[in-house]
Each structure stands twice: as structure tokens, then as C-alpha cells.
Amino acid sequence: ERFTMDEGLSMAVREVFVRLYHDGLIYQGDYIVNWCPRCRTAISDLEVEYQPQQGNLWNVRYPMAEGDGGIVVATTRPETMLGDTAVAVHPDDERYRELVGKEVILPLVHRRIPIIADDYVTMEFGSGAVKITPASDPNDFAIAGRHNLPILRIMDDNAVINENGGPYAGQDRYECRRSVVRDLESGGFLVGTEPYTHNIGRCYRCKTDIEPAVSRQWFVRIAPLAKEAIAAVVTGKTRIVPASWEATYFEWMNNIRDWCISRQIWWGHRIPVWTCEGCGKVIVASTDPDACPGCGGAKLRQEEDVLDTWFSSALWPFSTLGWPEDREALRTFYPTSLLVTGFDILFFWVARMMMMGLYVMKEVPFRDVYLHALVRDENGEKMSKSKGNSIDPLEMMDRFGTDAFRFTLAAFSAQGRDVRMSEERIEGYKFFINKIWNAARFSQMNLADYSPEISVSSAEESIADRWIRARLARAASEVTRGLDEYRFNDASAAAYQFVWHELCDWYLELIKPALYGEKKATARRSAQKTLFETVSASLRLLHPFIPFVTEEIWQSLIADGRSIMVSEFPSAEAIPTDLAAEREMALVMEVITRIRNIRGEMNVAPSLKLKVALDSAEEGALSTLEKGRGYIENLANLEALSLTREGAERKGAATAVAGPVRVSVFLAGVIDFAAEKARLGKEIAKIEKEMGGVGKKLANPDFLAKAAEAVVRKEQEKARLFGDKKAALEAALARVAALADGG
RNA sequence: GGGCGGGUAGCUCAGCUGGGAGAGCGCCACGCUUACACCGUGGAAGUCACAGGUUCAAGUCCUGUUCCGCCUACCA
């Protein structure tokens, strides 16, 4: 479906405005807004930048109109006193109780203004009395509304004092401040001045101090709309993830103020309101009227203000789908399933889309809102163009690769936290991409003669083949879960862990003999098939994180002529679990690791082929090891491996324990008894530390009585395993000690 | 002032519903073994900010203290 965005958006904006207007949700009114005297436009509360600024707190005495005495007020902006229309105190303030209702004389302009009581006033601050300037302060404006006070504008749109300022007319606001302070002082009204730091609001664009000012603006009566948007989140029609942001959302929505939507700027959607110059009739229409429907006059004047850009942004979920026309795209894709955005525009944009979506479409615009982390610079500061501390993503992509950068963002995106971008981390993932590339090369080299049609019976599959398939199923399940729950760091970590540390570190090494040894053709075929399928699935798992490299490899290696984008995402359910293979490989792998550990710790050259004996009292363990014999011999670099049932004396051997298996590495002639003694001692100490915790738990009757049964059983099993291991290590230590002592 | 988040290995950080302290980088030792030295194998390293409490059990829950960060605000 084709329609131009600009036209569609304009239509939608006008249509929504008209509907709101006719529902009584848009009004024009005099209201105090943040006015930028330089841009000569109102800006929204959210666009004001606050900065602490050093100023003064001037204490000024206003004399009573009748009799003696007076009341002291404090102000940071003495020039605004010209527009004061009251002095307010707290209703509970004993000091001023009898003054409420009386009048004071406003110095310099000699106007009588009343003393009123309003609980906005903080008794503890200053003198406890506040001057009220409705036209120059939002709070004062609100108080004026409550007490029917006159609103007196003393400045024009350029923040220059107007005729209401009497002798100060024509002065700029800051020039006027100096004049007023000088005159208050000479008139004896200034009772004190103290330095004071407070926040000054500035225009986000031109950095000019904003001037709260009363002016005629257009507003959306927002409370009814907010009510619906709040309900949508309360009832779960829309979920905010992470949920911690819901509180912030509610806080803001419950205290929302009417939305000032008019802007006095040059660019934007012009407000679709016309006034007939003949009869004064106001016309609100979604298409330009030719003549006044009241008097027929053709002299119509359109409102000059334009709409806040967020007004049209709020319509995005449906205006982009062709609304107000009833298009198929709109019916299909509204509401969308997910909005991904930054929390910094939760209010600007998300909440407003919610309100407008519910108002116009009678349905939430999206089911889930995922608020991602904000990327900060390495000092934790928010990146911004004005600060110049932005990390240029294009530069990062040039240096480390687009996929590496993208994977880094996923890996960093733990929920509820901001991230500090780190080049080291990106580099680490660049290495990961490289690893994948090399694994693909390995696969390509060994799959040249492979065809996916080749069938392999399950009987031909090796333990390694079965094992990697089972591990793949787990990885697929973890990645899927991470993505489903918007835990992208968990998802990316699961993929990373599987591909590097299981597929590359173990599986590729395990099958090398089958691939290019003199093994049977069946073993080779099975390894090839499993390799092909595992790499294929891995690429698909990784594709959401690293689209470019996976597509490239997919095309050259898997090559079914279609993009990896339209391939099926691996499903854990489709891959059979294989606990037996996982358990058996775990033992084989541990034995290999134990042998390597001895090699490393005893400083035996990696090139030296070793003789190893494995003893176990468990028949099952021995048969597993027999099945894994080839893997052990190859990956531990052995020249001989014997498996025996009885734990015979192993002279001149270094010892380790892998589950129910005693590992003896023969180091005849090269064994360093002192080193072996130290190594065993270290192992035993480690075991003892673990046994300590377990033993303490099992000795505690409360633990046995109150802990879950499964937990207790687990601890008991652990105690047994640790006990066995310790005994075996201690026996080895005693033997080595004897040999060492004997020379 | 209010709200929120955080203080876990040298660094950057994971640790969801309380039950074996983890990863990456860095560091140490050995190794260019025919995918990869952007690599491999092995190793060292933490009073989980502090103090209480709940619990058989606390990095994980509660209270307080402290330090850091972010957001927000109308004490003139």
C-alpha cells in the first residue's frame, strides 16, 4: 500500500485535532507557560533545562495599608513585584493570623494588595510570607485561580517591562531588577540580601532564561485521556518492561497537567482553526474551509500557531498505517506487539501514544514496551551532541565490525541499568566473530563432500554427536527464553557460551579424528551431519545478534538459496534431549581436564605423550570411559590408556579424581615428588573447604528438619562425593610423601 | 527536597522467583598441535560497601548507615 507519509500524517493530525475539539478536550485559554523571550514561543515543561545559578534572596518589607507595621517577603526576582497582586501566608501560621484579609501597600507602585492564606506556603522558609505574582510564576498563577486574584502582566513577549510597570516601563527584565533593588533600598523597603543558589530554567534551544508568562495557548484536557492510559497498564493490556518503570509512569500520569500543544514557531502542523472575519465564527475542520458556514463570508483567518511536534508523534502507531483511512495494514498491525525505546522518552512519546491510541483507536497501540538501557560514555555521563562525548557508532563499526558492535549492545543490555560503552568489550566480541568465522572455515573444509541428504542412523552417532545435539537444545532453549523475556544479555551470553566453549572448544576437537583420521566412513558421515546441523542451528541462533556474518556464512556453507532471515529459528523442543550423552560426556571431559591439569601443574611439555591409568569401582563409569577412549587419548595426548576395575598401586604417577574415577598419570622418571605433594595438598585443601560447608549443614538438626527434602538429599550426595574424592587424594598424598621421603 | 538505580575478582559487569560465588578483559605458566596466536591448555585472584534483623540457610528478603550515579521538583 502506498501513501505519502506527509499527506497521511497531516490528515491524521487534523482529524485527531478536530475530534478532540468536538469532544471538548481541546480548549484555548490564558495560561502560564514557559515563554522564551528570544524564540518568542512557548515551550513545554519538559523542554526546559534547569541549571543552578548563584543569585540573591532579597527580603522586602511591604508596609501595611492601615496602621503601622508590615510584612516581609523574600524573592529571587524582585522585578516581578511590579506584578504582585497579593501576599500569601500559611493558614496555620500564628504569626500572621490576624493579618489575613488585611492589605499591604506594594512599594514603588503604591498599589493595595491583600494578604491571603494558602497552604502552598511553607511556614519554615524565609519569613513565611510569599509575594504572589500570578503572571510570572506558575504556582502564583494557580493561587490566583484559587483566590480570584487579578493577573497583571508586567512584561511583553520580549521580556521588556510594559506600561503596567509604571516608571520601569521599557526596561529589560534584568535592567529592571537592578532599578527595583536600588529603589527598594533607597526607599527603605529592603531589609536584607543574602546570596542564594537556585535553579534557573533555560530554553533548550537558545539557552535564554525562560520567563513564565501568561499567554493565550491551546491545550489538550489530558486527564480523561490519561485515565485510560493508566488503566491500560494497570490491567496489563500494555506491559512496561522492566516493570520498575511502571511506577514512574503512574507517578507522571497521575500528576499530569494539561498539555500545551500550541507553538509559536515557523515549522509544524498549523492548527486547523479558522476565524471568520465577517461574523467572528470559529471553524474547526480537517479540510480547509472555503467559506464561513455561518455568514458565508470568504474572509477566513487561520490560527497562526502550530502544533507541538509530539502531537503528531503521538499518532505514530496508527498514522503510519494509513489512518484515518481504513487500510489493511492498519487492521493487521494495530496494535503492534512491541515498542522498543529509551526511557528518556517514556513521557514525551510512549505515554502520549498510549493516550492517543486509546482515544482514537479504542485500543492500546502496543502490547509490550521494552525500555532499553541508555548508553553512556566511559565516565557514565549521558552522551549528547552538545557535550560532544558521543561515541560514534559508525566509527566503532569501522574499527570492530558492525556485528561485533551489535553483539556488544545486546550483551550490555541487562535490564534496569545504564551501560557504559567500552571499547575493550567490543574488541572481545570482535574476537568472538572471528572465532565463528574460523569455525565456519573449519566446517567448510570438512564438509566439502557432504550432502544434507545423506542419512545416518542413530546407531552410527557417536557420544560426541549426541552430546553436542543435547547441548544445542539447551542453548536454543536459553537463547529463546532470553529473547522472549527481553533479557538480551542472557540470550547473547547463552549463544556465546555454547558456540565458543562447547561447539568450538570441545565438539570440533572431539570429531577431528573422525573427520580426518583413518576412522570408519560411518563415523565420518555422522560427524559431518552433526557438524552441519549444529553449525546451521548455531548460525540461526546467532543471527538476531550478528546478522551480517551469519548471513555470509549461511550463504556459502548452508546455501539453500534463501536468506537466513527466513529460515526457521531453532526450537529446543524439536531437538531430543539426551541426558545419558550429557552425563557420559561430562565424565569423559572431566577426565581429560584432570589429565591436562596435571600436565600443566607438573610442567609436563604438551608435546610429551603420556601413559594414563583410569581406575574405578563403578562398572558404568568404566564402560563410559571405554566408549570415550578415543576422545581421551586424543585430547589429553596419550600414548597409552588403561582402564581397570581395581584400584591398583600406581607408582610414579600423579593422581587426580574425576567423579568415581581415579586418574593416574605416569610420570616415571620425570615426576617431581615435591611438586606433586604440593599439588595434592592444594586439591585436598580445596575439597576440605567445600566439605566444611556441607558438613556444617548436615550436622545441623534444624537443617535436616526444615530444609526441603531435595536440598537435603543433594547435600548428602555432595558429602559422599567429596568424602570419596578426599580419601583418594589423601591416599595418593601418603604414597607420594613416602616416596618423596625415601628419595 | 522527592524518587529511582548502584557499590560482587585488578578493570567492566552478570547473578530471575533465597540453598554449590560467575563471565569478559587483564594477570601468571606452557604451547605457532593441519579452523583460529583475534588462538589453545592449565592456573592465581573476591570479608559479594558497612551494621543489624528475618530464616535451618542471605550476594539474593527487611531495617538502618555510608559512598556513587541518574531522574525529578514550586520552598518564594
A260 strand-pairing partners: A219
Place of cell 537443617: A703
- Strand B bases near protein CB (under 7 Å) are 3-6, 12-15, 19-21, 23-25, 29-31, 33-36, 38-44, 55-57, 69-76
One DSSP character per residue, A201-215 reads EEETTT-PBPEEEEE
SS3 A697: helix
What count of Cα atoms within 13 Å lies in the side-chain half-sphere of residue A220? 25
Smallest CA-to-CA distance from A366 within A413, A324, A410, A321 is with: A321
Say if strands A300-302 and A336-342 run parallel, antiparallel, or are unpaired. unpaired
Predicted confidence at residue A739, as pLDDT, reads 73
Q: What percent of chain A has pLDDT over 70?
A: 95
- Point out the residue nearest to B3 (C-alpha to C1'): A248
Q: How far is the CA of A603 from the C1' of B72 (A)?
A: 61
A254-277, pLDDT tens digit by residue? 878 788 888 887 778 899 999 999
The whole-angstrom separation of Cα A159 and Cα A533 is 73
Q: Tell me the three cell numbers of residue A203.
A: 530554553
In this structure, the number of other CB atoms found within 10 A of the CB of residue A626 comes to 13
SS3 A476: helix
Q: Tell me the three cell numbers of residue A221.
A: 484536557
Q: In what order do the strands lie in the sheet containing A610-616? A: A638-644, A610-616, A661-666, A653-658
Q: Tell me the three cell numbers of residue A271.
A: 492548527
Residue A715's identity, in one-letter code, is E
SS3 A35: strand
Residue A252's identity, in one-letter code, is W
Predicted confidence at residue A80, as pLDDT, reads 93
Q: For A291-300, b where at least 16 C-beta lie within 10 A, e where not — what string?
A: ebeeeeeeeb
Nucleotide nearest to A440 (CA to C1'): B35
Mean pLDDT of A299-312: 90
Mean pLDDT of A323-330: 90
Q: What is the pTM of this model?
A: 0.84
In this structure, the number of other CB atoms found within 10 A of the CB of residue A690 comes to 15
Mean pLDDT of A536-545: 96
Q: How far is the CA of A566 from the C1' of B9 (A)?
A: 43
Backbone angles phi, psi at A383, to 5 degrees: -80, 135
Mean pLDDT of A142-161: 90
Mean pLDDT of chain A: 88
Q: How far is the CA of A417 from the C1' of B7 (A)?
A: 14
Asked which of A40-44, A546-550, A605-609, A635-639 is least confident by mean pLDDT, the reply is A40-44
Predicted confidence at residue A743, as pLDDT, reads 45
SS3 A372: strand
Predicted confidence at residue A204, as pLDDT, reads 76
Of residues A53 and A534, more confidently modeled: A534
Interface confidence: ipTM more than 0.85 = yes
Backbone angles phi, psi at A13, to 5 degrees: -60, -45
Q: Are A108 and A131 in contact (CB under 8 A)?
A: no
Predicted confidence at residue A46, as pLDDT, reads 67
